[in-house]
Amino acid sequence: MLSRTAAEDLKISKRRVNQMWKEYKDTGTIPKIGGKMGRPPDPPLSDHEEEIIRKVKQKYKLGARRLELLIDRDYGIHIPHNKIHKYLLEAGLAHPNPRKQKRRRWVRYEREHSLSAGHIDWHDTNDGKAVCAIEDDSSRKILAYGEFDSQDTENSKRVFKRVVDEYWGIYPMRELIMDHGSAFGAHRTDEKGDWDGEFKKFIESFGTKPIRIRVNHPQSNGKIEKWFDVYERYRREFSTFDEFVDWYNCIRPHESLAPNGLKTPEEAFWERLPEGAFCESEGVMEVVGVKVIG
């Protein structure tokens, strides 16, 4: 009771009162309380540090937590992410995101191996284009993509065929996850809950199983929905769609791919190929787990 009364009178915590009492018993000196007793403020950023933050932000277009790691890696200096974030806010290079304060109500799931499953979806852009893309579930690599005048089945088939042409020699994609969009014919469901359509038959002809997400559960296709957010934010900074996708796949680290968040989708894609997949490096054709000279 005495500690609580003293804490209320001094406007400090009860724990601080107990610390002061112990310090007095140990030293015989009355402890000081008041201002300037806590941790000294961090020194301000230097002009050089601010320039580095601007350069790394421009190159990777990521948040402060991952920029801290990238500055450590690329420049060999450490700037705490809270100082980076404060500078980005003051410079107008970042904005508070209220969504990040909310606790997730679901747990993210991802496949262990590249090409185990892909996500396909369409997005109507702010400038009137229709964008279709297929994203690898495990590595987050964008495998195929296109900007079109409209969403339709033929364009969906064109995008999937690009995956077939480029990746079937490495490993066929087992499953393709999609919503109930009309461009996939997945909105037509019979009384048994089954569906059929031209796009479904097309991907099945290559041995890929189509999977529709649950109705009113967009989180199931959330990985590619998040990529469309990145598209809207940064696509206009690149002269071509190819340049943008190359930046996303090969330069911009993805937070979910490694403990330190510094692995790119391209790196993760080749590292996560399933056993038996083919990859070519330095003139040597390799099967994951086995090397074949070719």
Average predicted confidence (pLDDT) for the chain: 82
Cα end-to-end span (Å), the chain: 82
- The whole-number pLDDT of residue 107 equals 43
pLDDT tens digits, one per residue of 268-283: 999 999 887 776 554 4
User: Angle at which helices 81-90 and 64-75 pack, to 10 degrees?
Assistant: 110
Classified as helix, coil or strand, 195 is strand
Higher pLDDT, 12 or 48: 48
Q: Which of 79-83, 105-109, 210-214 has the lowest mean pLDDT?
A: 105-109
- Whether the pLDDT of residue 189 is over 80: the answer is no
pLDDT tens digits, one per residue of 121-138: 999 998 889 999 999 999
Under the banding of pLDDT at 50, 70 and 90, the label for residue 290 is: very low
Give Cα separations from 89 to 51, 83, 84 (angstroms): 15, 10, 9
